[in-house]
Structure 1
């Protein structure tokens, strides 16, 4: 397969060739479909996550993403691949939790070290659904509730972070999310809150690990294939040898192909090749999953793009300009009330047609975020990367 064919397929699967049409479905259901197609959306920075999702659904705005998350519950905000905070489709959470909890179980006693032993981690995982059963709790409220449930050790301020000491249970917060013991709730007066899938999703029971991992691998190959086991492992934050086992277990569901300029990889058996070359200008925000999850980076971030748009090889730290499926620059935005100012730094002088598309993208960004006035500047972006 040519790299162009790979890019064209991925753009289509990520709804970056053309946004998904709502049709007769509720917009929050279509949003969940799009998030399922990308295997989740990075949501450490919620404002960026809202833009990532809304740009993939025709006419959607940030408020629609929030409605999907907090009102209609078609999305869940929790810890996903690599332990990072993600938006995941509520309907798929049983598979996600089954897969990630299975990987954590394989890590054994090292999961809680150096602050917690396996029994303490298990006690926290059992206690969280119980103490969150009646409603969302802030961090401080959950800390006190866990201390009452399992012992004062859970609240001991021993975990060093950001010049502070966090309570002991916070060391395994992401692991508790991956096990389905907790997830995030809406902010309360500016404070973070926690919820539990057992309350939000009636009948929630995680899948068994092996079928869940196979399902997740197939979903990943649908959105990011062709891919090698090492790339799946990097995306998921899992041991490479374990991911190789999972790929081997897929059997006839996958087939090997060779990507020109890269090497052998697997794709879904019979996955159609896109004959039309990748086309379009897109502005992807911080940590957009297309840039983070697509490999090999040497082809997506080719030449000067690797130096300008990656941070020590890490993707997502810069919002990127995507032209015809390739990273072609960086950008930043400043939202002042109802006025949006976007600065784009292309690596190659854009054509007149590309500039017109860029203007449309800026207007769409403004619509998504509720800005009434927009300004586009083409020049050097001086802001540093997001950590």
Structure 2
């Protein structure tokens, strides 16, 4: 019988940091889409946070590189290498265009929770599919604001799609907007460049989604490569999916020999079959060592588990909002959260306030200064460092 591999938090963290381009940045010239693929997408509800997530992982990259990948300014019709759309958990992400076949095959197959809207508000399945098809047709080759898109959807479906039935931000939204994220997850919609202060939508390059079962199997393997070892519960939490469904998915992959069990800090967890080599000794320490800054909702702090080991001691209380990761930008020291930070832009100057939870060594202070300077480079600004209390709340 083959002996089960045992590993530790330090070894796992070192491997994750290396695979996330956090132990060593991607070489100059590496496409930002390649970095986004390694992360399994960059959370982009706030675009500047996604720009930092990618730029801080790639030597020389700036927000201009991210925007050029999203909306190429070269030859007319040039396809994007990055797509801003609704990804895991229904939230806005930057995803590599080449990965859309996987994402748009897998995400629609993830079971959703119980519907919360009143039956008189909800779209039934037939009408939801009709709206998604109308969105795809309206956005093909076009860039439309949400109001313009709404007019096109109503014209292609019927007045019922425009009924103002959804309470939202002290107003009412039309019925069709409840499937906006679904349209993104199945490839009918993505974000275009802003038109002034208004968001626009377009349709991503045409592709054929993978069959759902194949897409889900690939997604689990990609997730475990980036963030494993991980349990079905970890995967379910990352994807906002039912735990029982995730457990059955893992069971099927294990039975097929595609994933295997290891012991992670004494408990069972899973990796891609054969992916059981972890750094140790000086190699592990070199990968872990260092000071890093990660922005709001960075993929690493969202996906890396167990969360109590990533956020040890005081960090769990200071850097998590009710146990939810991502609401504060975080300072990593030697692979664990050791503080929070915030940046405030005024013209060409961005002031980065860092609140360490412990005393930094002289070497770590020098590293922190360099990291703050790099934040400024990514955002195309001059950055100044202030070490002190971060006075703003979560997700400020």
TM bin (shorter chain): over 0.9
Counterpart position of 2:23: 17
User: Is the deviation greater in 177-186 or in 205-214?
Assistant: 177-186
**In the alignment, which of 237, 251, 261 is matched to residue 248 of structure 1?**
251
Going from structure 1 to structure 2, the CA distance change for 1:308 and 1:109 (only over 3 Å counts) comes to closer
More helix by share: 1
Name the SS for the 2:71 alignment partner: helix
Report if the CA contact (8 A) 1:305-1:329 is conserved.
Answer: yes
The equivalent of 1:386 in structure 2 is: 395
SS of equivalent to 1:17 = coil
Question: Aligned pair 1:207/2:217, yes or no?
Answer: no
- Separation of aligned partners in 1, 2:28 and 2:349: 28
- List gaps (5 residues or longer) in structure 2: 1-6, 73-78
Contact 1:112 1:172 (C-alpha < 8 Å) held by counterparts? no
> For 2:295, which of 263, 276, 285 is the aligned residue?
285
Q: Which residue of 1 aligns with 2:10?
A: 4
CA offsets per residue over residues 60-100 of structure 1, 9 Å max, x none? Answer: 00100011111151111111111011111100101100001
Q: State TM-score, norm by structure 1.
A: 0.93
Q: Aligned residue pairs: how many?
A: 375
1:115 Cα offset (Å): 2.2
Aligned mates of 2:133, 2:376 — CA distance in 1: 44
1:257 aligns with 2:266: no
Whether 2:273 is the aligned partner of 1:269: answer yes
Query: 1:220: which partner in 2?
Result: 223
**Other-structure match for 1:348:** 358
Q: What is the DSSP-based 3-state SS (H/G/I as helix, E as strand, rest coil) of the residue aligned with 2:257?
A: helix
Q: CA deviation at 1:111?
A: 9.3
Q: Does 1:53 align with 2:54?
A: yes
1:95–1:215 Cα contact (<8 Å) kept: yes
Distance of 1:111 and 1:5 partners within structure 2: 45
- Superposed displacement of residue 107, structure 1: 7.0
User: Within 2, Cα distance between the matches of 1:146 and 1:190?
Assistant: 22
The residue number in structure 2 matching 1:178 is 185
Once the two structures are superposed, residues 232-251 of structure 1 have per-residue CA deviations (whole angstroms, 9 ceiling, x without a partner) of 01111112122122212223
| Alignment partners' CA distance in 1, 2:347 and 2:378 | 14
**2:130 matches 1:123:** yes
Runs of 4+ with >6 A deviation: 106-112
Please, which runs of 5 or more residues in structure 1 have no aligned partner? Answer: none
Give TM-score, length-normalised by structure 2.
0.91
Does the 8 Å contact 2:319/2:328 carry over to 1?
A: yes
Aligned pairs for 1:31-110 (under 5 A) are 31-71=32-72, 73-103=80-110
